[in-house]
Amino acid sequence: MRSTDAIEKYVKTTTVKTDPQVNKAVLDDLLDRMDRDSGAPCTAPPHGIRRTIMTGKLTKFAAAAAMIIATIGSVYFLNNAVTPAYSMEQTIQAGRDVRYLHFSFYASLNTDIADKEAWLEYDDGGQIKNIRVDWYNQPAGDMTMVWKEGRTQYWTKKSKTLRFFEDEIYTEKMVSFARRFDPTRMVKTMYDLEKQGKVKVQIHEPSDITQPIMLTCTWLPNTYIVKGTSPQMREVVHIDRFTKLVTSVKVYERKDGNYEGGGVWKYTDYAASFKTEIFDLDTEAPADVKRLDLMCLDIGMERTDLTDEEIAIKVVRSFLQALIEKNYETAVKIYGYENPDDREHLMQNLEKLNLIRIIEIGDPVAPRMDSRGKLRVPCRVESEENGQVIVWEIENMFAQRVIGHSNRWHVEAEFIR
Amino acid sequence: MLEDKRLVWQLRRGSRDALRVIYDKYRDDLLRIAAGLLKERTQAEDAVHEAFISLAERPRDFTLTGTLKGYLAVCVANKARNINRTAHHQRIVPLDELALPPSGARRPDQWIIEDEQFRRLCDAMARLPYEQREAVILHLQGSMKFRQIAQLQDVSVQTVQSRYRYGLTKLRSLLNGEVTK
């Protein structure tokens, strides 16, 4: 065992170097921010020049001639301009006063059937006030989620269930969703990232004024999503010629050297306000839809100051121990449920498991393709079946956070012998 | 210390050179702190960038009470806490991840050029409880006093010292064999 001094020295002396290119980009951004703050002084034209010109006959004539030539030249230049007149700042400016956004997502460039549809409402200060997202044709059926003042309403139409909960995680996700697909913010992000050299944006302003302005933003591999890997992506943003607002965003993915369409967002109704009812699913859902207030449930176990891995093991061990002790009240509480009507039925199922002993609980691992932050906790137990003791490896034993109760964890399991 | 005071004085008067010197002087140290407190390189990039933004925006209003490095280290630590809180939350939500491309692009592979020793240290650090990790990193890499860390963590100095000791002990066992006497 090494001494504490050696560890202190090791931690102190371990160094890391940053990438010079990125350092430059960051420093440029910092200096740019500093300049913006300092408000560079206006450069006033030199005094007296106009007065000097306009007092002499010859200079007055020469000035008039110069102005005529300049005017003719300007008209000619404007008519034959090659440089795009459009700039992204125009879209950023045009979107500042937008209070209502309504858009739909189509999974293919060649379909009229929307996968999802969203409505966003901002308050007068530009803060997100209400969000609604409808998912269509999903494997689990159509779903609608509304976020309003920190409270989430989640209606799964196939199962006829409407859940209510206040969960900071869902709030974060809904707000992130809204921000991500706020087209003004999207263009602003592109604008900022291009200045930092992180993406490439090309502006195409067709000479045919009936055609939209197009911004093509190309993302390097593994940069399109914050976490995880991603191929090289391309977004083509269509801008309305007159309002300068975004009308659609087409998303492409690079495969085998070609860009393939991955979907399109279409923005409509910039000016139209929404009825407040669309953000109230309790009124909208029929009477036979079961209402569940998840905030009223007392399920799971307190996380205290444990790490994710530690609490995952603790809830799984406590759950299994409760089953062994035939304490089904505790077991069902740790297992958790959304609908109190399911509690009795769940307890009856747990009673059938007949666990005798925990043999082993392994290290928790994050399952692949999971976005819920749950951890799989492999475990081996002994159970009794038809008078015989058998060793049972429970593959699908998970631990995860209780929705609406950020400091509580519960288990989720499938018991397949 | 005196040099930092001079730099801050110049910065408050709008000196771009002062900002450049401060950035060059502390960026590597701050990145080391951020990388130890956070799980991902991109997050470390964000934390360091934002710490310096607090200097670049409104430099005239900037006042320094302690050391400049300490101030920046606290900025990084606060940002790291926020990122960790948000990252933890984001992992859990099942809200249609496919519909949620990110709000910004990062270049994680190009930020930190790390060596093997640094990677091993980060791996070991990641296994400490967050408060212990923060106490160890801010004291040893951020040169912050326990009193300052106690203020940041809103606990007593004794608690920070305990967290530091526990953290070092665990690091010692995790890094055993990696560290030469």
Determine the pLDDT at residue A115. Answer: 86
Q: Which DSSP letter does residue A391 get?
A: E
Query: Is B17 buried (19+), middle (13-18) or exposed (0-12) by CB count in 10 A?
Result: exposed
Q: Which DSSP letter does residue A42 get?
A: P
Determine the pLDDT at residue B46. Answer: 77
pLDDT confidence band for B28 (50 / 70 / 90): confident
Residue A393 in this model has a pLDDT that exceeds 80: yes
Q: Which DSSP letter does residue A130 get?
A: E
Paired strand residues for A399: A375, A411
Of the candidate ranges A163-172, A222-231, B129-138, B157-166, the one whose mean pLDDT is the lowest: A222-231
Q: Do A180 and B16 touch (CB under 8 A)?
A: no
Percent of chain A with pLDDT over 70: 81
Query: How many Å is the maximal CA-CA distance in chain A?
Result: 119
Local structure of A232: helix, strand or coil: coil
Determine the pLDDT at residue A32. Answer: 78
Pairing of strands A375-376, A396-402: antiparallel
Amino acid identity for residue B112 in this structure: I
Q: Which of A18, A307, A372 sits opposite B112 (nearest CB)?
A: A18
**pTM of structure:** 0.53
- For an interface test with B, give the residue of A32, A173, A226 to mutate (most B CBs within 10 A): A226
Inter-residue long-range contacts of A148-156, CB under 8 Å, 24+ positions, other chains counted:
A148/A279, A148/A280, A153/A280, A153/A281, A153/A282, A155/A281, A155/A285, A155/A289
Question: Tokens 């560890």, residue?
Answer: A7
Residue B98 in this model has a pLDDT that exceeds 70: no
Token pair belonging to A239:
């801008």
pLDDT confidence band for B97 (50 / 70 / 90): very low
Is the pLDDT higher at A323 or at A366?
A323
Determine the pLDDT at residue A347. Answer: 87
Token pair belonging to A74:
């300007």
Q: How many residues does chain A have?
A: 417
Other CB atoms closer than 10 Å to residue A374's CB: what's the count? 23
Residue A290 in this model has a pLDDT that exceeds 70: yes
Q: Do A176 and B121 touch (CB under 8 A)?
A: no
Query: How many Å is the maximal CA-CA distance in chain B?
Result: 53
| Nearest by Cα to B18 from B76, B79, B62 | B62
Q: Which of B32, B49, B97 sits opposite A15 (nearest CB)?
A: B32
Q: Which of B16, B40, B102 sits opposite A224 (nearest CB)?
A: B102
Token pair belonging to A299:
């399920």
- For an interface test with A, give the residue of B75, B93, B133 to mutate (most A CBs within 10 A): B93
Determine the pLDDT at residue A292. Answer: 92
Q: Do B179 and A21 touch (CB under 8 A)?
A: no
Of the candidate ranges A292-306, A371-385, B23-37, the one whose mean pLDDT is the lowest: A371-385
Q: Which residues of B touch A34 (CB under 8 A)?
A: 14, 16, 19, 56-57, 59
User: Helix/strand/coil (H, E, C) string of chain B?
Assistant: CHHHHHHHHHHHCCCHHHHHHHHHHHHHHHHHHHHHHCCCHHHHHHHHHHHHHHHHCCHHHCCCCCCHHHHHHHHHHHHHHHHHHHHHHHHHCCCCHHHCCCCCCCCHHHCEECCHHHHHHHHHHCCCCHHHHHHHHHHHCCCCCHHHHHHHHCCCHHHHHHHHHHHHHHHHHHCCCCCCC
Spacing of C-alpha B177 from chain mean position: 27
Residue A169 to residue A125: CA distance in whole angstroms:
23
Q: Which of A17, A34, A145 sits opposite B19 (nearest CB)?
A: A34
Contact A2, B172 (CB under 8 A): yes
Residue A195 to residue A86: CA distance in whole angstroms:
17
Other CB atoms closer than 10 Å to residue B156's CB: what's the count? 12
Residue A327 in this model has a pLDDT that exceeds 90: yes
Amino acid identity for residue A209 in this structure: I
Q: How far is A348 from chain B (nearest CA, A)?
A: 29
Q: Which residues of B touch A6 (CB under 8 A)?
A: 179-181
Q: Do A372 and B93 touch (CB under 8 A)?
A: yes
Give the model confidence (pLDDT) of A92-134 as tens digits: 888 888 888 999 988 877 788 888 899 999 888 878 889 999 9
Is the pLDDT higher at A136 or at A34?
A136
ipTM: 0.77
Of A322-326, A363-367, B170-174, the range with the highest mean pLDDT is: A322-326
Residue B124 in this model has a pLDDT that exceeds 90: no
pLDDT (average), residues A388-407: 86
